[in-house]
Structure 1
Amino acid sequence: MERIRVGFIGCGGNARGHMKRMLTIPEVEIVALADVSQESLGKVWQDYPQLKKLPFFTDYRQMLKEVRLDAVEISTPHTLHFQQAMDSLREGLHVLVEKPMVCTTEHAQQIVEEVERSGKVFLISYQRHFEPVFRYVRNQIRAGELGEVQFISAFLCQDWYRAQRGTWRQRLALSGGGQLNDSGSHLLDILLWMTGLEPEEVTAYIDCLDTEVDINSALSVRFANGAIGNISVVGNSPGAFREDTEIWGSKAAVHYYNGELTYICAGVSEPFQPTGLPYRSNPDQNFIDAILGRDEVQAPAICGLRVAQLTQAAWESARTGQPVKVRHT
């Protein structure tokens, strides 16, 4: 059986979730860890004592040079992703990177070009691509069952402002942005991935409260096919996480609310919940399957580029108080 030797760049809580999944995949061997924090390493050892004997590096570049690797998984503060991913690709390694892929359109374009040049597998950990309800909606739209998508409305709220107070996620130098760039990255990505729509222009209003990053964001978007939509990301929301998305087409509409999907067709009075949804997987399994030639990459670098383009245009609109054309390269 072919073995895929994986190193981890970043060993925080998110990375430990990836480690848990990787340890269940028979073809994977975790061979090295890199993180600037000894505390993070201690938590890895606590959760996965079988990894105690692995070499540990405070400089990921040393790991890339000294350890025989096939692939890396990157789970670090957002603004570090670009250089870590580029260095890994240039070392001839397959790469899985946490969201957001990077924090600027320029960096995203460079990643896309480097992936094409290297021929390596590159995957963004956008887990919604592997969840049955979102795969179902994407399949329905691609099959023409919704008709032409005409309007979208998406809402995400989370107690992010208080929960991330004092962490790197609210430090612009490390996060690259606020809630729109964090959990909001998932929302923007899944809307674009499901619908296939190309954003053309965005008008955005953003409130940073007393931080240096976006907390609450309101986006109005016009798409190239003529569709319009509203996207709301609320980072200062007491209570539980909530996600609500509606997509209206010329033939049918879908409504997603916290894991439940309803579908209504034109001329039919009662909505229904679809059955026979696609299979569920996860980014780590897809990453290994793609390396072994058993599957296509389900969340490729182009998704990160599209999210970066829309996010950067929204930030610019909020800064200038004007509508901004979404730059496509």
Structure 2
Amino acid sequence: MEKVRFVMIGVGGMGRSHIQKLLQVPEAEIAALADPSIASLEEAKRRFPQLAEVPAYADYREALSRTAADAAVIVTPHSQHLEQGMACLDAGLHVLMEKPFVAGSENAQRIIEHAEACNKHLAVAYQRHVLGPFLYLRDVVQRGELGSIRYVCAYQAQRWMQATAGTWRQDPALSCGGQLNDSGSHLLDVVLWVTGLEPQAVSACIDNRGTPVDIDSAVTVRFDGGAIGTFNVVGSASIGLYEDVTFHGDKGTAMYRNNTLLIAREGQSQPVAIAADEFPASSDPDKDFVELILGRKEEAAAPASCGLRIAKLTEAAWTSAANGGQWITL
């Protein structure tokens, strides 16, 4: 295979981001666009004139039936991911999905098993798995430079409630959840991916702030092995996205302070900023997925199993919050 031909399902703002990245990959070809919004299809072609002759469909099923393709990128409201993903797998395509994968852990397990039965790759577009600072951080933790991880504190603040008002993201039938399930899923994922810790039990307090979905979440996690973690997801903040994640081990500490990585290794009493030129080269989920399909790597940067883990953790947090913060065992 010299080219990986893609069907793009969903070409709104984030869908166009995926298009832009794929157009920069020589081995990738966009074979079809699919979106029920004619305006979105027209905007995609306006922004990317090289797609002027690419077929566009209002119904993704027509795109699948009429297009010779190898893979699909799904960037649609969360509740639609399962149906679309299963259809793509049935059509013989590899599938890259935007986060948070599919709605619920049962559906996640179902589509993972189906992808395995179809012998197709299924991955989630968690881009931090291919970004230099996080690759560096994960390597430090996995090599044991911080020792045994004892405590993790993860914080994310964003004016998510205000920015998504009136959109599908605050419609539970389409979004399947609020900030914790949306931007917050990146925060949950990066902690589990960097540390390899397995959640054992979850206690949560969540406030919807008068909306139909979760907005502000305080989540405490006990991990196998005794580590403790706190996740603070603030969707009602007045600021743009800000993140702060700290990993405390018995030999050292790592702090990710909104794009700055600081590490105190064993014997250091103060963390030291890591220069950008020390980080591995960054990539993106689309390029990574092309390389996977071409057989240049054995596993996706963020395989579907990552989506399953986050679904289980998020569900436990919702269940706990609905029951007054009761500890929920995973």
- Whether the aligned pair in 2 keeps the contact of 1:184 and 1:233 (CA below 8 Å) is yes
Which structure 2 residues correspond to residues 99-178 of structure 1 after superposition, within 5 A?
99-178=99-178
- Distance in 2 (CA, whole Å) between partners of 1:128 and 1:326 is 27
- Whether the aligned pair in 1 keeps the contact of 2:156 and 2:242 (CA below 8 Å) is yes
Q: Following TM superposition, by how much is the alpha carbon of 1:180 offset from its aligned partner in structure 2, in angstroms?
A: 0.3
Letter in 1 for 2:293: I
RMSD value over aligned CA atoms?
1.2
- Deviation larger for 41-50 or 302-311: 41-50
- Distance in 1 (CA, whole Å) between partners of 2:3 and 2:266 is 51
Q: Deviations over 1:36-58 (max 9, x none)?
A: 10111111021012212221111
- Whether the aligned pair in 2 keeps the contact of 1:316 and 1:324 (CA below 8 Å) is no
Match of 1:288 in 2: 290
SS in 2 for 1:254: strand
SS in 1 for 2:69: coil
Q: Following TM superposition, by how much is the alpha carbon of 1:322 offset from its aligned partner in structure 2, in angstroms?
A: 3.8
Q: Following TM superposition, by how much is the alpha carbon of 1:323 offset from its aligned partner in structure 2, in angstroms?
A: 2.7
- Distance in 1 (CA, whole Å) between partners of 2:329 and 2:36 is 36
Q: Deviations over 1:232-277 (max 9, x none)?
A: 0000111221000000011111000111000002332232123522
Match of 1:14 in 2: 14
- Distance in 2 (CA, whole Å) between partners of 1:105 and 1:144 is 31
SS in 1 for 2:152: strand
Letter in 1 for 2:14: N
Q: Deviations over 1:68-123 (max 9, x none)?
A: 11000000001111111111112210111000001201011112212222221222
Q: Deviations over 1:12-42 (max 9, x none)?
A: 0100011011111111111111101011111
Match of 1:54 in 2: 54
Which of these residues, 308, 313, 317, is aligned with residue 316 of structure 2?
313
Q: Following TM superposition, by how much is the alpha carbon of 1:11 offset from its aligned partner in structure 2, in angstroms?
A: 0.8
- Matched positions, count: 327
| Cα distance change of structure 1 residues 174 and 143 upon mapping to structure 2, 3 Å threshold | same
Which of these residues, 294, 302, 307, is aligned with residue 304 of structure 1?
307
- Distance in 1 (CA, whole Å) between partners of 2:161 and 2:148 is 37
- State the TM-score, normalizing by the size of structure 1: 0.97
- Whether the aligned pair in 2 keeps the contact of 1:309 and 1:326 (CA below 8 Å) is no
Letter in 2 for 1:278: P
Match of 1:95 in 2: 95
Letter in 2 for 1:311: T
Which structure 2 residues correspond to residues 122-271 of structure 1 after superposition, within 5 A?
122-271=122-271
- Distance in 2 (CA, whole Å) between partners of 1:115 and 1:299 is 15
- Whether the aligned pair in 2 keeps the contact of 1:253 and 1:263 (CA below 8 Å) is yes
- Distance in 2 (CA, whole Å) between partners of 1:59 and 1:208 is 34
Q: Following TM superposition, by how much is the alpha carbon of 1:326 offset from its aligned partner in structure 2, in angstroms?
A: 4.2
SS in 1 for 2:33: strand
Letter in 1 for 2:108: A
Q: Deviations over 1:217-245 (max 9, x none)?
A: 00011001110111000001112210000
Q: Deviations over 1:273-298 (max 9, x none)?
A: 23522221100000000000112311
- Deviation larger for 261-270 or 38-47: 261-270
- Distance in 1 (CA, whole Å) between partners of 2:270 and 2:306 is 34
Q: Following TM superposition, by how much is the alpha carbon of 1:66 offset from its aligned partner in structure 2, in angstroms?
A: 1.5
Say yes or no: does 1:44 pair with 2:12: no
| Cα distance change of structure 1 residues 322 and 271 upon mapping to structure 2, 3 Å threshold | closer
- Deviation larger for 85-94 or 270-279: 270-279
- Distance in 2 (CA, whole Å) between partners of 1:106 and 1:3 is 34
Q: Deviations over 1:120-171 (max 9, x none)?
A: 1222110111111111121112111111110000000001111110000000
- Whether the aligned pair in 2 keeps the contact of 1:8 and 1:72 (CA below 8 Å) is yes
Unpaired segments ≥5 residues, structure 1: none
SS in 2 for 1:280: coil
SS in 1 for 2:272: coil
Say yes or no: does 1:76 pair with 2:76: yes
- Whether the aligned pair in 1 keeps the contact of 2:146 and 2:250 (CA below 8 Å) is yes
SS in 2 for 1:278: coil
- State the TM-score, normalizing by the size of structure 2: 0.96
